[in-house]
């Protein structure tokens, strides 16, 4: 079973993502902040995809976590969740971010982003160093 880690400070978003992904066969673990996400990475045997809230209430924030994960776990895909209008589609994602999810979240949007992240993770893992 493929594991997905969700790091978001809003419990409603964590529950929604857990429902969307859990019903699609993913093993989902949710945490409220960046520090807990880093602790869970090894517990979950380095999940292939991590979904991160861009504005975590406490420092460190989502982009920091995405960058940290890229440095520590270079084949883990990171996806940022943000409010509409936070980023323009033409903007380049921060280092380590594979995709964006824009609230309000829709099931198909979430599943597509996770599938894209899984594909990216597998391709990155197979790429020559």
pLDDT value of position 94: 62
- Give backbone dihedrals phi and psi of 11, rounded to 5 degrees, phi first: -65, -30
Give per-residue pLDDT as tens, 39-76. Answer: 999 888 889 999 999 877 777 888 889 999 999 999 99
Would you state the pLDDT for residue 90?
Answer: 52
Torsion sign over Cα 33, 38, 42, 46:
positive
Closest by CA position to 120, among listed 103, 96, 84, 101? 96
Q: Residue 14 to residues 8, 81, 93: CA-CA distances in angstroms? A: 6, 11, 22
User: Is the peptide bond between 18 and the residue preceding it cis, with omega within 30 degrees of 0?
Assistant: no
Helix (H) or strand (E) holding 28: strand 27-31
The token pair at 100 is 């964006």
Q: For residue 49, what are the β-bridge partners?
A: 4, 77
Domains along the chain? 3-126 (3.40.50.2300)
pLDDT for the residue numbered 33: 93
| Angle of CA points 42, 48, 49, to nearest 5° | 105
The list of the chain residues with pLDDT below 50 reads: none
């Amino acid at each position: 079973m493929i594991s997905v880690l969700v790091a978001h400070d809003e419990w409603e978003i964590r529950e929604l993502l857990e429902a969307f992904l859990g019903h699609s066969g993913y093993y989902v673990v949710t945490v409220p902040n960046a520090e807990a996400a880093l602790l869970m990475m090894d517990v979950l045997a380095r999940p292939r995809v991590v979904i991160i809230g861009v504005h975590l209430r406490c420092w460190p924030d989502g982009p920091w976590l995405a960058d940290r994960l890229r440095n520590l776990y270079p084949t883990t895909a990171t996806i940022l969740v943000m409010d509409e209008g936070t980023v323009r589609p033409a903007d380049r994602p921060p280092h380590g971010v594979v995709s964006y999810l824009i609230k309000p979240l829709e099931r198909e949007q979430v599943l597509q982003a996770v599938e894209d992240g899984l594909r990216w993770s597998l391709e990155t893992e197979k790429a020559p160093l």
